[in-house]
Copies of this chain bind each other. A is one copy, B any other.
Amino acid sequence: MSSQPIGIFDSGLGGLTVVRELRRQLPNESIVYFGDIARLPYGTKSRSQIQRFSLENTQFLLQKGIKALVIACNSSSSAAFQLLKRRFPIPMVSVVEPAVGEALQRTKAGKVGVIGTPATIESRVYEEALRRGNSRIEVFAQSCPLFVPLVEEGWLNGGVAERVIQKYLTPLAEKKIDTLILGCTHYPLLREEIQGFFGPKVQLIDSASPTVKQLASFLERKKLLYEGRKNARFQIFTSDLPRNFIHVGERFLGEPLPPIKVVR
Which A residues are within 8 Å of any B CB, using their own CB? 37-38, 40, 44-46, 49, 118-119, 122, 145-146, 148-150, 152-153, 155, 159-160, 163-164, 167, 240, 243-244
Contacts and interface: CB of A to CB of B under 8 A. Distances in A.
A150 B146 contact: yes
Contacts of A160: 146, 160, 163-164, 167
A49 B264 CA distance: 13
Contact of A145 (B153, B163, B164, B167): B153
11 contacts: A38-B44, A38-B46, A119-B243, A146-B146, A146-B149, A146-B153, A149-B149, A155-B167, A159-B163, A160-B160, A160-B163
How many copies of this chain are found per oligomer?
2
B44 A240 contact: yes
A189 to B, nearest CB: 15
A257 B257 CA distance: 46
A121 to B, nearest CB: 10
Nearest to A43: B243
Contacts of A243: 44, 118-119, 122
Contacts of A163: 159-160, 163
Contacts of A155: 167
A128 B46 CA distance: 37
Residue of A44, A148, A167 contacting most chain B CB atoms (<10 Å): A44
A4 to B, nearest CB: 32
A125 to B, nearest CB: 16
Given A145-B149, A163-B163, 11 more contacts: A44-B243, A45-B240, A118-B243, A119-B243, A122-B243, A145-B152, A146-B146, A146-B150, A148-B149, A149-B149, A160-B163
Nearest to A150: B146
Nearest to A152: B145
Contacts of A145: 149, 152-153
Contacts of A164: 160
